[in-house]
């Protein structure tokens, strides 16, 4: 009898603990939902603000629009391998843009199914969104020049013998009909409300089970008392 009571108490405490944990996870997901909504709003408004001249900005803010005047450097094209666009395999086209003030900017011009896409010649104006390179994931292959899978500005500076800026630009216009613009900030999906509902539902189910156990135990105790009486 004592062992059974200990088991019931342990089960009660463990179930109560799970209810608190699941409820906490649901609340955390609602907080993440609010944060994700703020992020999505800031990304959506990135093009709305004023576009600044790259040569007039020392340290631009990531995800902000910039424009630059100058020209692409011939013979400096880099291809990021294993990139897809609408289900098709291809490459990201990266080129070096030499600004009027003598700065060297890496520009992601867009996606192409093939590598033979030289940059436009002559002086032009480019616009885009400032990005800082993301570190490689565990599953990404190592860069082995001239084959690249992810952007490594330090390595590219050494390979190209150019002092590249510590950020790159995702171009708004590719200036080439064979290159498709890439999204400067793929919008993350906001599924946190569904996750919160899932955690709260689990907590609710456990709460019902716990209440059922308490009520059932109460009636069993009540019946046992009446029987002995």
Half-sphere exposure of 185 (CA within 13 A, CB side): 20
What count of other Cβ atoms lies within 10 Å of the Cβ of residue 33? 17
Q: What CA–CA distance (Å, rounded) separates 35 from 192? A: 10
Q: Does the pLDDT value for residue 157 go beyond 80?
A: yes
pLDDT digit string, tens, across residues 12-40: 888 889 989 999 999 999 888 888 777 77
Residue with tokens 């342990």: 10
Q: Does the pLDDT value for residue 158 go beyond 80?
A: yes
pLDDT digit string, tens, across residues 127-155: 988 888 888 777 788 888 888 899 999 99
Between these two residues, 74 and 223, which has the higher pLDDT value? 74
Q: Does the pLDDT value for residue 100 go beyond 90?
A: yes
- Which residues neighbour 98 within 8 Å (Cβ) at sequence distance 6 or greater? 70, 71, 72, 73, 104, 105
Tokens of 84: 């897809």
Residue 92 host element (H or E): strand 88-99
* pLDDT value for 106: 95
Q: What CA–CA distance (Å, rounded) separates 229 from 169? A: 85
Per-residue pLDDT band at 225 (split at 50, 70, 90): low
Q: What percent of the chain has pLDDT over 70?
A: 86
pLDDT digit string, tens, across residues 47-95: 666 788 999 888 787 778 899 999 999 989 999 888 887 888 889 999 9
Tokens of 105: 């900017």
Q: What CA–CA distance (Å, rounded) separates 161 from 24? A: 53
Tell me which CATH code domain 47-171 carries: 2.40.50
Q: What CA–CA distance (Å, rounded) separates 118 from 182? A: 17
* pLDDT value for 146: 83
* pLDDT value for 173: 86
Q: Where are the domains of the chain?
A: 23-46+187-206, 47-171
Q: Which residues of 13-24 are buried (b: 16+ CB within 10 A; e: fewer)?
A: eeeeebbeebbe
The verdict on whether omega for the bond into residue 220 sits within 30 degrees of 0, i.e. cis, is no
Q: Does the pLDDT value for residue 192 go beyond 60?
A: yes
Residue (of 174, 163, 216, 15) closest to 85 by Cα position: 174
Three-class DSSP category at 186: coil
- Please compute the mean of the pLDDT values over residues 43-49 and round it to a whole number: 65
Between these two residues, 50 and 229, which has the higher pLDDT value? 50
Could you give the C-alpha distances from 16 to 28, 65, 208, 209, 217, in angstroms and in order? 18, 51, 11, 10, 16
- Which residues neighbour 141 within 8 Å (Cβ) at sequence distance 6 or greater? 149
């Amino acid at each position: 009898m004592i062992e059974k009571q200990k088991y019931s108490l342990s089960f009660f405490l463990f179930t109560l603990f799970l209810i608190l944990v699941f409820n906490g996870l649901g609340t955390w997901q609602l907080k993440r939902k609010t944060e994700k909504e703020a992020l999505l709003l800031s990304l959506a408004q990135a093009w709305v603000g004023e576009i600044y001249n790259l040569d007039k900005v020392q340290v631009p803010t990531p995800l902000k629009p910039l424009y630059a005047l100058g020209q692409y450097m011939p013979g400096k094209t880099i291809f990021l391998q294993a990139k897809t666009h609408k289900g098709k395999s291809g490459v990201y086209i990266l080129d070096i843009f030499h600004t009027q003030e003598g700065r060297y900017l890496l520009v992601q011009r867009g996606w192409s199914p093939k590598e033979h896409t030289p940059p436009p010649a002559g002086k032009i104006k480019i616009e885009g969104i400032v990005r800082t390179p993301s570190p490689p994931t565990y599953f990404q292959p190592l860069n082995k020049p001239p084959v690249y899978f992810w952007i490594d500005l330090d390595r590219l500076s050494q390979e190209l013998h150019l002092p590249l800026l510590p950020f790159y630009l995702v171009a708004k216009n590719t200036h080439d009909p064979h290159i498709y613009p890439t999204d400067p900030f793929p919008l993350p999906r906001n599924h946190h409300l569904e996750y919160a509902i899932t955690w709260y539902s689990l907590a609710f189910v456990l709460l019902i089970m716990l209440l059922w156990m308490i009520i059932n135990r109460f009636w069993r105790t009540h019946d046992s008392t009446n029987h002995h009486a």
